[in-house]
Structure 1
Amino acid sequence: MVRGREEELAALRAALAAEGGRLIVLKGPVGIGKTALLDETERTLRAAGTRVLPVRMGSGPGGRDDAFGLGPLVRAVRDRFEQFQAAGLAASLNTVARLSDAVGRETGGWAPSLVPALDSLFAGLAQQGRTVVLADDAHAVAEPAPMIAAARRSGCLVLAACDESAEHALGPGELLAAADQVVTLGPVSDDVAESLLRRTPGPRLDEAVPGILRTALGPLFGNPGTLLATLADLRERGRLTPFGGRLCLHAPSEPVELPGDHHLLRRVASLGDLAAHLLTAVSVLDGISVDDLPLLTEMTGSDLTAYGRVLDRMIEAQVLIADPVGRVGCRCPALAASAVGWAANRCDVSLHTLLAEQILARQPDAVDPAVLAGHIAGSGSNVVLDASQVSWLLGLAADDEPERPERAASSYAAALPRLPPSDPQHPPTLTRLVNLVVRTGRHELLRDVLAQYTEQGCARGSLEEVRLAAIMAALHSGEPPADEAVRSLLDAGPTGAEPIGFAQWWFGLPRTPGPVTPYRSRLVPADRMEVLSAALSGDFAACERAWHRSGGAATSRRGLDRLHHAAAMVDTATVMRLVLGDHYRIPTTGVPGVHRRVVRGYNRADWSQAMSAVRELELSYSTDTLAHQAARLLAADMCAARGESRQAAWWLGRVVPSPQPVAMRAWVRIGLFSRAGDHRRAVRLALRAGRRLRRSGPHVGLFLLLIRAVQIAVSIDDRHGAAELLEETELLCRETGTDTQEALLLARGLVHRDVELAESATELTREREDLPSLLDSCLAIARFAEDPRPWLREAHELATRCGASVLLEHIRAVARERGVPAPRVRGRGAQAVTEQRIVELVGEGLTNGQIALRLQLSEKTVENHLTRLFARTGCRSRVELAAVSLGGRLTRD
C-alpha cells in the first residue's frame, strides 16, 4: 500500500529526524493511502526503538460528539500503558478520561481544566524519552487542536493525517495553519495502481481489467482506496468472473460504478435530494451548462438560488468539475454510472423528454438547436412533433452531416420514428441514417429502425437499406434478430448471390422458408459489396475481379493480400475497412471490434492481450458467432505454442462443429500436431485437407493452411511432402485465378531452398505484421540457409516475445543440428518475458520442476529466476509473487 510513495516517505523520515516538539500534517483525499503511510511510519519507528502512540481520531463511541478526540486518546494510552512507565501517568490518564465523559455530556462545550490535563498527560508520556504521536483522521473531530498542541508542547513529535477537506473546516483548519510542515499525498502513478490491483488475492486478473478501471475511474484510478474498493465491489456484484485461468470482467462494455459507500456518493447524499437530482441530470445529459439550470429547477420546482448553491458545493467537494467555458460534468465515468443507477428505470428517456417538451413549449429559438435535437433524440418517440418540427430536425441533420456525422445520425434517428413508411421523406432519411451508422459505428441506432420495420414494414425501394441495417446490427451485436420478419432479411448474403445467407454464415442458423430477394444497396456501390461478400466467403476469383472493378488495383497487390488474410482470420472489421475505406469506422466494441483485437494481438505477438480479448468475447457476447469460433481457434494455437496443451485442448473443444471456418480449423490442428512433435502427421493432414478444400471449397484461409504445412515439412526435411504442398499451392492459385505473392514466394523459396526468394517473402510478412508466420518462416529458413544464425536469432526473439516455449525448444534443436550456438535472451526486456511466464505458471500452482518442463528450462534456471524475483519485488512467498504483474514493469536490477 506504500508503493510509489518514496518521496513522501523520505520527507516524513527527514521531518521525524528533527528534535523537539514538531507538528507534521499529512494531507490528502479520502482513500489516498494516509493510513497506510502512517502504519509504515509506525513500523519504521518501532524498529528503530522509538516509542509510538497511534491515536485513531473519531473512532469508537462518541464519534463526532467527542469534539476534542479525548476518547480515542484515552483508549490509545490504555492499550500501550506498559510502554510508558512514567510516574503519575495513571492519575493524568484518569483525569483526561473524566473530562472526556464530562465534555461529551456538555455536547462539545469547553472545559477549563482540559488544557492542563492534556499537558500533564503528554508530559508523562514524553518524560521517558523521544515519543511520536500518530494522529490518524484528525479531521474526524471538530476540535483536534487542543490535544495535538499539548503533545507538541510536551516535546512529542506529532504526525497528523487529515483529509484535504480539512482546510475548509474551522477546527481541523487550525492544524494546517499551525503545522511545521505539510506533506500532501497525490494520486499514485498508473504503474503503481496496476501493481496494487494485481496484488489482490485470488485468480490472476485479466490483462484488460486495469485499463477498463482506468477509464471508469479517471482521476480516481490513482486513489488506492477507491481503486481497491471498486475492484472488491465488482467481485461482490458478480461482475468479476473466473474464466480461462483469469479473473475477467463480465460484460466489460457495461458501465463500472463506484461502490455504494464511496465518499463522493456519501457526500452527495449529505447534501440532500437536490444534489442527487443534479448529479443524475449531469450524468444523464453528459454535462450541463449554467443555461440549463433554469430548466432543471422548473423540473424540480426548486429555487434557482438554492440549486446554484448546491451546484457550488458539489464542485467544491469535487463531485462535479467545471471546465473553463463553464460546462459542468461528473468527476469520472464511474460516478456518472452510479448516479444513473440510482434513478428509476428509463430515467434518461424521461429526463430528455421533459427537457425537450419544456424547450419546445417556451422559446426554442433561444436554445442551441443541437441541444434541442439531442433531447428529442434521447426521448425516443415520447416527444410529439408536428410536420414543421420534423422538417426542422431533418434540416439540422443535413447541415451536420458533413462535419458532425455522429450528431447528424442522432437527429436522423430521432426524426425517422416520426415519419411513417408512406411519407416521401422516409426512404431518403433511412438511407442517410444507415449510411451514417456505417460511417460512425453507432450501431445502437439501428434498433429503432428494425423495430419500426417489424411494426410498419417499409416503403417500396427501402428494403435494401433495412436489410443492411439488419446485417450491421446482427454483425456488431452478436445477437440474431428475435423477430422472424427481420431474421428473414438475413437469409440473403450481402449481395444476394452468395451460396449461403448471412444468418447461416455468421450464426450457423438455417434459412427460413420462403423466397430470398436479391440484395442491391444504394448505400454502397455494387462492386464494393461484391468484394466484401466474395472476400468473406473465400471466392478469390470473384473477389479479385470485383476488387479491380472497384478501383482497388490502385492500392497495389498488397491491399488484396491483406484482404485475403483478414478474411482468413474472420477479421470482418478489417475486411470492411479495406473494402469500404472511410465509409466504415472500425469499431472498438461489438463482436467485430473485439475479435479484431484478438487478431491484431495474435499477429503482433502480443498474446497476453490477444487472450484477454478472446475471454472478453466469450463473456460479453453469449451467442456463438463465426468470430467466436475463430477466436477459440487462435486461443488454442497460442496455448499450444506456449506448451499449455491442456488449455489448447480446452479451447479447441469449445469450437462448434460447422462448415465455417473449416480451413482455419485444419490450420490450427496441424499446428497442434507440430507443437506436440508429430510433424509428419501434421503434413499428412494438411495434404488431405488442402486437396479436399481446393476441389470443393471454401477456399478462405486455405493459403494459410498450405504455407504452415510447407514450413513444417521443410523443418523436418520432408522434401517429398513439401513438394506436394507446393504443387497444391500453385494449383490453388491457377484454379482460383488469384496470385497471393507472399504465399507463392515463400512456398517456392522454402521448397527449392532459395534463400533470396524466401527472404523476399518474409519482407512481405513483416510488412503485414504477421509475426507468428514470420517466426515459423525464420525457423524453416534456418534449416538450409548458409548462415542460420540471423534467422535463428530473429525466430528466438519472436518466440520469446510470444512466450512460445515449445518454439524456443524447436529453435534450440535447429541450432544443435546446424552446429551453431543457440540464441540467448538479450537484455532485461527479453528476460522479463521469461519472468512473466514463470510468474503466470506459479499462479497456476505449478512446481519449479513443472515450470522447467513447460518452459524448456533447467530447474536450476527457474530457481535462479525466482530468487531474483523475490529479491527485486520484496515478495515473501510464491502466493504473493503470483499476484504481481510483471509485464516489463518490475524494478530493474
Structure 2
Amino acid sequence: MAREHSTILGRDEQWARLDDTVHATGRAGALLVLRGPTGSGKTALIEAATKNWLRHDVQVLSLSATVPTPRMFDTLLEAVRRRVDDHRRAPELLETVAAAAQLRQHDAGSSLCNPLPLVHELTRALTQLARGQRTVLVIEDIDHIALESASALASLAHGVRAAGGVVLTTVGGTSWGAHQQLVNLADSVLDLPPLPEDDVTALLARWSGGQAAVDPATTAALHAALGPLFGNPRTLRSTVRALRSEERLVIIDEHLCLRPPEEPIALTADHELLRRVHDCGPGADRIVWTLAVLGEFDVNDLPVLAETADVELHACGRVLDRLVRDDVLRETSGRVHLPVPALGTALAREGSRTPRAVHDALARRMLAQHERGGAVDRSALAHHLVAAGPESGGRSGVEVLIAEADAAARTAPTRAAERYRAAVARLPGSDRRLPRLLEAMTRLQLFQHRFRELADDLGTVLPALLDAFPPEDGPEGPAPYGSDDAATLADLAICWFLVQLHEGRITELHHATRLFALVTTRDENTDAMRRFFSALFRGRVREATTTLNTLFGPFSSEQDETRSTTALDAVLMLLNAAEGEHEEFRQTLAWWQRRHPKRHAPDTEQLREAGSMLDHTTALELLLGNHHDGQSHHGRSRGYRGVLHHYHTGEWDTALSTARSLEAARPHARSSLAHHLTRVVAAEICAARGHFRRAEEWLARIQHGFACGHLVAWVRCGLRHRRGHTAAAVADGWRDYQRHRDRGSTAGLERLLERLIDYSVRIGDRDGAERMLEELTTFEARHRTPSAREAALIAGGMVRSDPTSLREGIQLARQRGDAPRVAHGCAAAGDLLDEPQPWLHEGYALVKRFGSSYGRGLFSDLMRSRGIALTRSRGPKEPLSSTENRIIDLVSDGHTNRQIAMAVQASEKTVESHLTKLFARTGYRSRVELATARLEGRLPNG
C-alpha cells in the first residue's frame, strides 16, 4: 500500500519529520522530543500522526509520565499483553510479559520503589515487538516524570531505540529537571512554535462552527487580547468557544465578527495562566490585576504597587518575583508588564473588579501627598482622576483637572478633552466656570471627531443647565450667567443639536432646542425650528438647510467676532459644503474667512468633495484643523470616513471589515447618517465583486426614506446591471434620480448620472445618454465639485467619443485618488481609443486589486475584443502558506471543494475563501489555470 501524503493544519513541517522518521528505510531506531508550551498542539499532532501510522501497519503504544510510576508502567504492560496473540514470535514475547507480570504481582500494593527490573522485562518485550513490526512508543509529558522514575524511563527509551523502534516524547518547556536525561539522549528535538496567522485564521473558522469566514478585525482583537498566546491552539480554541457561548461571535456580511468590538476578551476560567496566578500565593491575583489596569510598572515603585494592590510589602516582592519566573508577568529593563491582556480581563470577571478602584486608590494616595506639599506628577494624577470616575477627588481633584486640561489644550488635545470632561462631570450646574469648560471640551471633541462621545457628554451635562434657568416670567431674570456665557450656551445647544442629529438621536433633539430657546429671546425661533423639523423629516434637505441657516445665522452675526465659537461656523460650512451650490458655498466661505482671518484657509476642493459624499469627519477636519495628537480616537478608525477612504484607494477588504465592525458595535441602536452611508459603500463593494446577495443584505439595513437617496440609487442601479438587467437599471435609476433631485438631495447625484450614462451607451440608447449628460453638465456647472467635474468629463468623452475629455477626467480622478472611477474611465478609454492596451492593463490591475471578479471579467472581455493579451502576474510577493500550497496540490489532482475541505480539515467556505484569494493574488481566473501554473512551476513553493 502506497503511503499517502497527509498534513495537519499549521504543523506540516513537524508532521513531515515525524512521519519520515517512522517510515525511514532501514531498521535504525530513533528518539525524538516534541517540545512546545501547554496548548501548543502536541497531543493533537501525535493523535493525528497515530491514526495515520495505524493505517500503515505501524503499532503505537502510549503512556503518560503524569501518572504515578506503578500505574504508568502497568499501563504499558497491559498494552504489550494485548499484542501477545497477534505477534508472530508469541512464545518469546509471552515469556517476557509473564516475567513482567510476575514482578508486578510480587510488588502488588507497593509503590514500586525500584522500577528497573520491571523496566528491563518491558524493554525485552518491546524489543520483540519492534523486531517483528515497526513500533512507535509515545511517552507524553516527560517533564512531569518523578525523579525516581526518570532513569528507568530513560533506560526503556534507550532499549526501544536500540531495537529499531521509534520513541516519541513530549515536553512542555525548556526548564531543567529529571526529564533532562531523556532530552539529552534524543536524536532530534522538534519545537512547536506559535501557529502562523494564516493557519490561525483557518482554525478560527473551523472552531467557530465553519459557518463563515473570520473577519480580520476579529482576528486582530484576539491577537491583541492573547498576545504571545495568539498562536497557541488550545488557548485559541477555548477562547473562541467561550465567545460563542457568550453570543459575542455573530455573522455579519457572511463573516464572523466580534460584538461588541470594544469589549475586552477574557481567558477561560480554567486556563493554565489563571492557575499559575493562584498558585503564586495570596494577593497574586490583586497584583496581576493592578498591573493589568496600569499597563506596566517600575520595580522601584514596589511600595506603591503593594499599597494599591493591598498586599504586604515583603509578600508583594516575593509574589512578584514568582509571577515573573512563572512567565505570568514579564520584566524588561526594570519595567514589569502583563503580556496577555485577556488574563487581566479574566481576573476582573473572577473578582468582580473594575479599573476604577485601582485608579481611585492611586488618585487618593497622590492627592494626599499633594495636599501635604509633597511633589507629585500632576499629569499622572489627572490621568488617575479621569479614570477613577466623578466620585473621586473632591474639590481639590477638580482644580487639578482644570489646570492640567488648560495646560494640555494646545499640545495634547486628546488628554485635555478627557480632563475637561472629567472636570465638567464633577461641577454643579450653577458653577460659573461651566460654560467655559464646556466650550473647551466641545471644541476639542469636535476637533477629534468624537461625535458619539460628545453627544453623550452634552446629553449628561446640558439638561442640568435647564434647571439653572428660572421661568421667563420669574423674578430672577433670564439666567444666572452673563451675556457672553449665554452666547456660549447657545453655541453649545446648536452643537448638541447637530451631534444628536448626526448620531440619529432624533427623540432627544427637543432638549437641545429648548436650551437654545432659553438663552435667546427671538420670538421667531419656535416657528423656524418647527419648519426645520418638518423639512428634515420629509426629506426636503435644501429647505431644512436654508431654515437652519436662517435660524442660527443672525444670532451668530451678533456675536463678538473675536470669540472662539464652538460649532456654528463649522455647521454653516458643513451644510453648504454637503449640498450647497457653488455660489452659495463661495459666499459662505468668504464669510467664514472674515470671521477667522488667522485660521488657515481650508482646501476648498477637498472640502467640496467631502461634502459631495457627506463625509462630515473630513469636512470638520478641514474646517477646524487636524488636532490628532497620536492618541486613539474612539470610532474614528471604524467610521464612514475610513470606509470611504479605503473604497477610493481600492483597499476593499479593509473597507468591508471596517463596515462590519461598525455594524457589530451598534446592532440595536438607531443608525446615524454616517452608519447608513457606510452600508451604502459596503453594498457597492459587494455588488462590484459579484456578491449580489451580500449587497442586497447591506441595502436592506438602510433606513427607509434615507435622505441621501441618490447614493442608494447609485448602488441599486449598479446591482441591477451586474445581474443582467441593464435596461431596467436605467429606467428605475432615472426615476430615482428625478425623485431625489426634486426633494433637494444632491449627495451622490453625479455618481448615479455617470452610471446611467454608461449603461445607456451600453444598450445603445444614445438619446437617453445625451439627455442624462445634459443633466450632469448642468449639475457640474452649478456645484463645481471635483467629483462632478470628473464624472462630466468621462461621461462626455464616452457619449461624444472625445478622447481629450476622457483622458482629462481619468487624470483628475487619478490625482484625487478615486481608484474605482479611474478603473471605469480606463474601461471607457480601452473601448474607445486607438491605443487601448495601457488603459486596459491599468484598469485590469485595479479591479484585480479590488478583488472584483465582475470587473476582471469585463476587462478580460475588452482585451479579447481588442486583440490584447491578458496580463499575467508573476506571482505574489509573499510566499504561499502551507495551507494554500496544499489546496493548490489538491486542485491540481482534481479534488472538489468538499474533498479539499476534508483533506485540510476546514470548511468548504474556508476553501472557497482561500481559492478566491489565490485567484486575486496570482492573476489566474480558474482552477484549471491555477493547476497549470503549479505544474509549470509558475507559482512559489511549488
Q: Name the TM-score class by shorter chain.
A: 0.7 to 0.9
How far did residue 139 of structure 1 move? 3.0
Task: Name 2:95's counterpart in structure 1.
Answer: 88
Q: Equivalents in 1 of 2:899, 2:407: separation in Å? A: 60
How far did residue 116 of structure 1 move? 1.3
Task: Name 2:113's counterpart in structure 1.
Answer: 111
Pick from 642, 648, 656: which aligns with 1:611? 656
Q: Is the 8 A contact 1:532 1:575 kept in 2?
A: yes
Task: Name 1:762's counterpart in structure 2.
Answer: 810
Deviation digits for residues 77-104 of structure 1, max 9, x if unmatched? Answer: 456566664232432453575589635x
Task: Name 1:134's counterpart in structure 2.
Answer: 138
How far did residue 649 of structure 1 move? 3.6
Q: Is the 8 A contact 2:570 2:620 kept in 1?
A: no
How many aligned residue pairs are there? 845
1:322 corresponds to 2:317 = no
Task: Name 2:572's counterpart in structure 1.
Answer: 530
Q: Equivalents in 1 of 2:581, 2:730: separation in Å? A: 25
Task: Name 2:681's counterpart in structure 1.
Answer: 634
How far did residue 755 of structure 1 move? 1.2
Q: Is the 8 A contact 1:540 1:699 kept in 2?
A: no
How far did residue 312 of structure 1 move? 1.6
Q: Equivalents in 2 of 1:504, 1:282: separation in Å? A: 50
Pick from 225, 228, 238: which aligns with 1:216? 225
How far did residue 582 of structure 1 move? 1.0
Task: Name 2:460's counterpart in structure 1.
Answer: 451
Task: Name 1:827's counterpart in structure 2.
Answer: 873
Provide closer, same or farther for how the CA distance between residues 629 and 450 of structure 1 changes in structure 2, counting only shifts above 3 A. closer
* Identity between Structure 1 and Structure 2 (%): 29
Task: Name 2:314's counterpart in structure 1.
Answer: 305
Task: Name 2:616's counterpart in structure 1.
Answer: 572
Q: Is the 8 A contact 2:80 2:125 kept in 1?
A: no
Deviation digits for residues 771-825 of structure 1, max 9, x if unmatched? Answer: 3323332333333222344434444444444444444554466567xx4237636
1:26 corresponds to 2:34 = yes
1:73 corresponds to 2:76 = yes
How far did residue 226 of structure 1 move? 1.7
Task: Name 1:238's counterpart in structure 2.
Answer: 247
Q: Is the 8 A contact 2:64 2:139 kept in 1?
A: yes
Q: Equivalents in 1 of 2:578, 2:567: separation in Å? A: 17
Q: Is the 8 A contact 2:540 2:745 kept in 1?
A: no
Deviation digits for residues 643-682 of structure 1, max 9, x if unmatched? Answer: 4444444433333222511111221232233223333443
1:883 corresponds to 2:910 = yes
1:307-386, aligned counterparts within 5 Å? 307-324=316-333, 326-344=334-352, 347-362=354-369, 365-386=374-395
Q: Is the 8 A contact 1:32 1:185 kept in 2?
A: yes
The letter for the 2-side match of 1:615 is R
The letter for the 1-side match of 2:139 is A
Q: Equivalents in 2 of 1:366, 1:19: separation in Å? A: 76
Q: Is the 8 A contact 2:680 2:698 kept in 1?
A: yes
* More moved, 575-584 vs 331-340: 575-584
Task: Name 2:61's counterpart in structure 1.
Answer: 53
How far did residue 693 of structure 1 move? 4.7
Q: Equivalents in 2 of 1:507, 1:100: separation in Å? A: 92
Provide closer, same or farther for how the CA distance between residues 120 and 706 of structure 1 changes in structure 2, counting only shifts above 3 A. same
Pick from 763, 770, 773: which aligns with 2:821? 773
What SS class does the counterpart of residue 250 from structure 2 fall into?
strand
The letter for the 2-side match of 1:780 is A
Deviation digits for residues 182-224 of structure 1, max 9, x if unmatched? Answer: 4333223223322332444421223322222222222222222
Q: Equivalents in 1 of 2:539, 2:636: separation in Å? A: 12
Q: Equivalents in 2 of 1:577, 1:210: separation in Å? A: 31
How far did residue 587 of structure 1 move? 7.2
Q: Equivalents in 2 of 1:148, 1:505: separation in Å? A: 81
Question: Over aligned residue pairs, what C-alpha RMSD do you find?
Answer: 4.6
What SS class does the counterpart of residue 330 from structure 2 fall into?
strand
1:779-818, aligned counterparts within 5 Å? 779-811=827-859, 814=862
Task: Name 2:647's counterpart in structure 1.
Answer: 602
Q: Equivalents in 2 of 1:627, 1:320: separation in Å? A: 42
* More moved, 768-777 vs 78-87: 78-87
How far did residue 121 of structure 1 move? 0.7
Pick from 435, 451, 454: which aligns with 2:443? 435
Task: Name 1:542's counterpart in structure 2.
Answer: 584
Q: Equivalents in 2 of 1:382, 1:864: separation in Å? A: 64
What SS class does the counterpart of residue 117 from structure 1 fall into?
helix
How far did residue 125 of structure 1 move? 0.7
Pick from 412, 417, 420: which aligns with 1:409? 417
The letter for the 1-side match of 2:113 is A
Q: Equivalents in 2 of 1:532, 1:592: separation in Å? A: 21
1:149 corresponds to 2:149 = no
Task: Name 2:489's counterpart in structure 1.
Answer: 463
Q: Equivalents in 2 of 1:99, 1:222: separation in Å? A: 49
The letter for the 2-side match of 1:672 is L
Q: Is the 8 A contact 1:56 1:137 kept in 2?
A: yes
The letter for the 1-side match of 2:235 is T
1:683-694, aligned counterparts within 5 Å? 683-691=730-738, 693-694=740-741
The letter for the 2-side match of 1:115 is L
Provide closer, same or farther for how the CA distance between residues 468 and 227 of structure 1 changes in structure 2, counting only shifts above 3 A. farther
1:368-767, aligned counterparts within 5 Å? 368-387=377-396, 389-440=397-448, 446=454, 447-448=456-457, 450-457=459-466, 460-461=485-486, 462-464=488-490, 466-467=492-493, 470=496, 474=500, 485=511, 500=532, 522-523=564-565, 527-538=569-580, 540-547=582-589, 559-583=603-627, 590=635, 593-621=638-666, 622=668, 623-691=670-738, 693-694=740-741, 696-736=743-783, 740-767=788-815
Structure 2 residues not aligned, in runs of 5+: 1-6, 469-480, 519-524, 557-562, 923-938
What SS class does the counterpart of residue 337 from structure 2 fall into?
strand
What SS class does the counterpart of residue 132 from structure 1 fall into?
strand
What SS class does the counterpart of residue 238 from structure 1 fall into?
coil
Deviation digits for residues 37-63 of structure 1, max 9, x if unmatched? Answer: 3345545655775543222333xxxx5
Q: Is the 8 A contact 2:490 2:515 kept in 1?
A: no
What SS class does the counterpart of residue 109 from structure 2 fall into?
helix
TM-score (norm 2): 0.78
Q: Is the 8 A contact 1:573 1:593 kept in 2?
A: no
The letter for the 2-side match of 1:36 is A
What SS class does the counterpart of residue 175 from structure 2 fall into?
helix
Provide closer, same or farther for how the CA distance between residues 20 and 711 of structure 1 changes in structure 2, counting only shifts above 3 A. closer
What SS class does the counterpart of residue 87 from structure 1 fall into?
helix
The letter for the 1-side match of 2:772 is L
Q: Equivalents in 2 of 1:666, 1:290: separation in Å? A: 61
Provide closer, same or farther for how the CA distance between residues 652 and 376 of structure 1 changes in structure 2, counting only shifts above 3 A. closer
Task: Name 2:3's counterpart in structure 1.
Answer: none
Q: Equivalents in 2 of 1:580, 1:100: separation in Å? A: 87
What SS class does the counterpart of residue 251 from structure 2 fall into?
strand
* More moved, 879-888 vs 155-164: 879-888
Q: Is the 8 A contact 1:205 1:246 kept in 2?
A: yes
Provide closer, same or farther for how the CA distance between residues 363 and 310 of structure 1 changes in structure 2, counting only shifts above 3 A. farther
Q: Is the 8 A contact 2:205 2:211 kept in 1?
A: no
Deviation digits for residues 665-705 of structure 1, max 9, x if unmatched? Answer: 22123223322333344344444444555555222221212
Structure 1 residues not aligned, in runs of 5+: 843-860
Which structure has more relative contact order (CA 8 Å, sep 6+)? It is 2
Q: Equivalents in 1 of 2:250, 2:62: separation in Å? A: 39
